[in-house]
Structure 1
Amino acid sequence: MKQKNIIGYATEYDIKEHPSIKGLQIIEGKNNFPISWLNQQGYCEYQLYLQYMKGIETPATPEMTHGSEIHHQLEEIFKQDSEQSTFEDALEASKKDASMSRECFVIAPEYGIRGYIDEIWMKPDEIVIIDDKPGRTPYQSTMNQVRAYCLAFKDMTGDERKIKGALRERGTNNLFWIEVFTPDVENEIRFTIDRMHGLFEGSKPFIPTKNHRKCNSCRFKSKCEHAK
């Protein structure tokens, strides 16, 4: 597969920072959140409230720091052996010759989501969207994150090829979970995304986890009134 380093996009958007919620943007007149927040929402919604609504900051955990270091190293190695391309050119060329890209930005203003895909394989017959995670367990939260990337890619491109979402063990070639992005899967992730928007709009409550193990390891534990 050819390696394509995506350096530009044809479409530009009207982007503003949300006046009170850190990290939330207003794109094309609609609230837009990072897709990575879905991972956090699946762990504990109240984390989102503490971090982005109340603005509580905590030091990065050793696991977070290590993950960022590995991610950066892989990105630098990829850039050394790849050719530069716009997103649109890479997408069109992949209909004949398969290619792969890292840190591929996708955005769907209609659904209010945006994010960077760790790795994407664009083949003549299918698109495979990969998110790197520590461990080998496909949690609901990590699956939702990949599904949202699939939705954003589909909405952004209108591409009719089969789309697959996958989770890969960080630093390896082990794809430990993969699924086809079917209409049923799309409906499920759209429901979750709608709930996320309800949280930020104030129409839905932030529900804290009931799992005491999550509370014990949470970096917001000392700031959370729900901590067990």
Structure 2
Amino acid sequence: MEQKNITGFEKEYDIKQHPSIKGLQIIEGKNNFPISWLNQQGYCEYQLYLEYMKGIETAPTVAMTHGSEIHQQLEDIFKQDATPATFEEAVEASKEKASMSRECFVISPSYGIRGYIDEIWMKPDEIVIIDDKPGRTPYNSTMNQVRAYCLAYKDMTGDERKIKGALRERGTENLFWIEIFTPEIEKEIRFTIERMQGLFDGTKPFIPTKNPRKCKSCRFNDDCEHAK
């Protein structure tokens, strides 16, 4: 597959920072959150409240630092041989010839989500959206993250090709989970995203995990009144 280094978009958006929630943006008049927050929400919603609403800062974990280093190494290697293209050019060209891109930014103002896809394969007959994770376990939180990338891609392109979401073991070629982004799955992830929007507009409460093992290993343990 050709390697395409996506350099930007033809469309521009009206973007503002939310006045009180760190990391939340207001894009085209709607709250817009990073898709990676879905992974955190699946672990413990109260983490989102502590980090982004209360503004509690913690040092990154060893796993977070290691993951960032691997991402950057792969990105640097990829760019050495990749051809620059806008997002729209890459999507259109892939209808005739397959290509792949890394750190592909997708955004959906209508659903209020945005994020960077670790790797995307654009083929004439299908789109494969890949997120790299440590380990080989497809948690619901990580699956939801990939599903939201699929939703954002579909919404911003209107692409009628089959879309697949996949999880890959970080640093390997092992796709340990893959699924077709069906209408049923789209409905489920839209429901989860609507809940997230409710958290940020104050219509839904942040629910802490009931799993004491999660609490024990949580980096916000010292600042959380729900810690067990």
Q: TM-score range by the shorter chain?
A: over 0.9
Instruction: Give the corresponding residue for 1:88.
Output: 88
Runs of 4+ residues over 3 Å off in structure 1:
none
Q: What letter corresponds to residue 51 of structure 2 in structure 1?
A: Q
- Report deviation, 1:73: 0.2
Q: Secondary structure at the match of 1:101?
A: strand
- Counterpart Cα distance in 2 of 1:12 and 1:102: 21
- Counterpart Cα distance in 2 of 1:42 and 1:170: 20
Instruction: Give the corresponding residue for 1:223.
Output: 223
- Counterpart Cα distance in 2 of 1:149 and 1:200: 20
Counterparts in 2 of 1:26-175, with a 5 A limit?
26-175=26-175
Q: Tell me the number of residue pairs that the alignment of Structure 1 and Structure 2 aligns.
A: 228
Q: Secondary structure at the match of 1:19?
A: coil
Q: Secondary structure at the match of 2:32?
A: strand
Q: What letter corresponds to residue 205 of structure 1 in structure 2?
A: P
Q: Secondary structure at the match of 1:114?
A: strand
- Listed one character per residue, the Cα deviations across residues 159-212 of structure 1 (whole Å, up to 9, x for unaligned) are 100000000000000000000000000000000000000001111000000111
Q: What letter corresponds to residue 225 of structure 2 in structure 1?
A: E
Q: What letter corresponds to residue 203 of structure 2 in structure 1?
A: S
Q: Secondary structure at the match of 1:173?
A: coil
Q: Secondary structure at the match of 1:156?
A: helix
* TM-score between the two structures when normalised by the length of structure 2: 1.00
- Listed one character per residue, the Cα deviations across residues 23-63 of structure 1 (whole Å, up to 9, x for unaligned) are 00000000000000000000000000000000000000011
- Counterpart Cα distance in 1 of 2:108 and 2:6: 18
Instruction: Give the corresponding residue for 1:191.
Output: 191
* TM-score between the two structures when normalised by the length of structure 1: 1.00
Q: Secondary structure at the match of 1:8?
A: coil
- Report deviation, 1:81: 1.3
Q: Matched residues, percent identical?
A: 83
- Report deviation, 1:3: 0.3
